[in-house]
Amino acid sequence: MAPAASHDAKDIKSENSKSLKALEEMMQKLTVSKAQDEINASAQAIATFINGDIEEADAPTKAVQVLKKQLASKKDAVARERALDAIRAIAQHSHVSASVEPYLVSLLPDVLAAVGDKMSGVKVAAQTAAESIVMAANPNAVKAIIPHIIHSLENAQKWPEKMTDLKCIEVLTKSAPRTDGFPCSRPDSRHLGCHVGHQA
C-alpha cells in the first residue's frame, strides 16, 4: 500500500508544479497585455484556471501571493491594475469555486485600499473588483466580509474608498438579503453589522 500512496503523492506534487507553472505564465501574459481585449482574455484565462479542477492548496495560494505582491507594487501602476483585472475576472467567473471564494474574500482589504490609488485606471479597476468580490460571495461569507468593510470605512483616508465600501454594503443587501453580518444584541436596524439586508 505504501508504494501506491507514495506514487499518488508524487503525481499530486507533479500536478501542482505544472499548475503553478501554468499560472505564472498566465500572470506574466496578463501583465504584458496592452489592448483591452488581450487584458480581458488573459484575465479570463486566469479566472477559468483558478476556478477549474486543480489542486486546491497550491495554485490559489500562489495566485493570491502574486496578486498581493502586484497590488503592493508602488512603482508599477500597470501591475496594480492588471492584478485587479485578474481579481475581477476570478470573482465574475460563471462558476466561482467554493475553494477559491475564501481567497477572494482575503483579497478584499487590499482591493478596497487600492480604490484610493492616485492612478484613475487602478482606482476604477479596484472599485469594480471590490464589488465583484462581494457579489460573488456566498451569503455565508457575509460574516467574513463585513469586518473588512467596517475596517475600511473607519480607516480609509480617501472618500472614493468609503464610497466603494458603501456600494459593497448595497451589493450585500441584494446578494444576501436575509443574512446577518454577525450576532449582536442591538436590534437597531441602522447598526451595520447586525442587519445587512434585513427588510423592515
Instruction: Answer whether 86's CB lies under 8 Å from 93's CB.
Output: no
Start-to-end CA span in the chain (Å): 61
Domain hosting residue 109, numbered range: 2-175
What pLDDT, in 10s, does the model give residues 40-55?
Answer: 898 898 888 888 776 5
What pLDDT, in 10s, does the model give residues 39-95?
Answer: 889 889 888 888 877 655 567 788 889 899 999 999 999 999 999 999 999 999 988
Note whether residue 189 is domain-resident: no
User: What's 133's domain CATH number?
Assistant: 1.25.10.10
Q: What is the pTM of this model?
A: 0.77
Hey, how many other C-beta atoms are within 10 angstroms of the C-beta on 170?
13
Residue labelled with grid coordinates 498566465 = 26
Hey, how many other C-beta atoms are within 10 angstroms of the C-beta on 122?
22
Q: How far apart are CA 98 and CA 157, in angstroms?
A: 33
Phi-psi category of 111—alpha, beta or left, where left has phi over 0 and alpha has psi -120 to 50? alpha
Note whether residue 182 is domain-resident: no
Note whether residue 186 is domain-resident: no
Structurally, the chain folds into a number of domains equal to 1
Note whether residue 187 is domain-resident: no
Instruction: Answer whether 164's CB lies under 8 Å from 112's CB.
Output: yes
Note whether residue 191 is domain-resident: no
